[in-house]
Chains A and B, each alone.
Chain A
Amino acid sequence: MSAGSSSVGATVPQTATTSAHLFEARDVSAHYGRVHALKPTSLHVGRGELVTVLGPNGAGKTTLMRALTRLMPREGSLFFEGRDVSALKTHELARLGIIMVQEGRGLFGQMTVRENLSVGGFTRPHEDEKLETVFTLFPRLKERVDQISSSLSGGEQQMLAIGRALMADPKVLMLDEPSLGLAPKVATEILETLGELNRRGLGILLVEQKAPLALKLARRVYILTLGRVAAELPADQIGSHHDLARYYLN
């Protein structure tokens, strides 16, 4: 077990300008005005790996996701498939295949399910084929294809948010608390689908508060507290809430 940026640097041979990982962030930090909400943080996601970020409320998990996708100004370096993509804007990162499902889902509420999915595939060809893939994964979306998205249930909205992200042909999929506000059964269903996507080879960075569910899926865990990575460890090393609480309190 090791903590923070130093641990990542110690386990992966790297140079200053390249990365062996699918996706890697080095010393990424972000501010809200004078508040240093995210201190220099490093993490990586390997090919076909599902990594989770756990942390209590206010730990900086959403800030981390927004900083990684450049939805807010940030410092630090970002690498994707070995290439330095630190200077790219949000839409340019998306075109490379770095796709994020935001907290609150970020659906286009006045658009139908089909239109939302269509926007998801905005930069990609073969929309019909991808639609079929999404409908196979989430058959309920097919039943509601002409329904306005704001009228869907919370679980269906989350399915749509993930389906829309899949339309964008992600190479690494980032999800910010996809189980937030969902009934336990629906949350489990959603997270199991993410597990299935990961088994198909999709790299996933999952931010969650529902630790037990996330830990079942993940290979590695980053624990974020007070805006910094307090620990990076294999998921199976966290046996109980007490283990997590220890990191949260430290």
Chain B
Amino acid sequence: MISPAITSTRPRAAWTAALPVIAAGALIAYGLTSSGYIATVLGFAAIYGVFCTGLNFFMGYTGQASFGQNAFAALGGYGSAILTDRLGLEPVLAILASMSIAGIVALVVGYPTLRLRGHYLAMATFALGLITYEITIEWTSLTHGYMGYSGIPPLGLFGYELANEKQQLVALVVIALFGVWISNRLRNSRFGRALRAIAGSEAAAAALGINVARYKLAAFVIAALYASVAGSLFAHFIGFISPEVFGTAMVVLSFTMLYLGGIGTTWGPLVGALIASLIPEVLRSTLPGGLKEGQDIVYCAILILILIFVPKGLSSLGSLWQARRSAVREG
């Protein structure tokens, strides 16, 4: 008998397919019935979920390295801020316009950069993030430099604004789920199979007729579009952005989320974003007084333990459980 661990995604039971929707519903309910602070934490998780879902296209599905997606989040964030503040655009239109700019920049930057591979590509993309960071600091007439950009309007459409964080949380979760839905559709499409073939072996993919350079560029642009949306959502959710928001810490955190949830999986990025956002809050509220000082150490220890015992990420827990159950059943 073939083990479930080595079989593909067979048609799943209806309840399994509905699980993400139920989980999202429970999350929204929790956020709406809790304090505004919890809603803000969950909102951050949803925004990072969007960012990581995009990063997953390039790093997970296509198997490439990018340390510079924060650059496109910065483009989205500052694009939204400037377009709504100076040009008076609707937030939704500003998000779409910022996406277009980020997409074009990704196309122009990605074309030469993606000729590199491995560590060289990682360094080039890292430089992209650093350059964008410097620009946001130095171009003060446009970005307000270290002071940051404040007074960014909340999400809304046709004059209607989502006034508080709980209303915005609902919108953010819906957008994050929509992002995962698109990711899932693309992953299982002809396009997605080409990306995953490139991740498996670039030489073999090319030898079968796949234009590797073009597909890598497409994955890079898609990741940039997601990053731009995440940056814009952050700007409208918090109402303030600064260069630090889109700094190197964003890259480190998004990598943590991606590997924690399961790189290359559909739900992994969102799951990772949620867990990595919630663990510090849970520790803050549950650790006894004396241990609160070492909260970061406990947080890191938990992350390391998860990665040791569930190396394929938390979203693989289901298949691990199924494999163990069938192993027990077989004897």
Contact = CB atoms under 8 A, between A and B. Distances in A.
A110 B197 CA distance: 9
A155 B206 CA distance: 23
B197 A111 contact: yes
A94 B196 contact: no
A91 B200 contact: no
**For the complex of A and B, 3 pairs with smallest distance between CB atoms:** A108-B200, A106-B204, A94-B209
A90 B207 contact: yes
Most buried by B among A106, A112, A114, A144: A106
17 contacts: A89-B206, A90-B203, A91-B208, A91-B209, A91-B211, A94-B207, A94-B209, A99-B208, A102-B203, A102-B204, A102-B207, A108-B196, A118-B193, A123-B210, A146-B8, A146-B10, A148-B7
A98 to B, nearest CB: 9
Interface string B1-26: 01000111010000000000000000
Contacts of B303: none
Give chain A's interface residue range (CB within 8 Å of chain B): 20 to 34
Contacts of B7: 112, 146-148
Contacts of A108: 196-197, 199-201, 204-205
Interface of A: 69, 71, 89-91, 94-95, 99-100, 102, 106-112, 114-115, 118-120, 122-123, 144, 146-148, 151, 164-165, 168
A115 B200 CA distance: 12
Contacts of A168: 208-209
A164 B10 contact: no
A134 B103 CA distance: 41
B194 interface: yes
A18 B206 CA distance: 26
B247 interface: no
A99 B209 CA distance: 9
Interface string B191-235: 001101101110111111111100000000000000000000000
B210 A110 contact: no
Given A91-B207, A102-B204, A119-B194, 13 more contacts: A106-B204, A107-B204, A108-B196, A110-B264, A111-B193, A111-B197, A111-B200, A122-B194, A122-B209, A144-B2, A146-B7, A146-B10, A148-B8
B31 to A, nearest CB: 35
Interface string B255-292: 00000000010000000000000000000000000000
Nearest to A94: B209
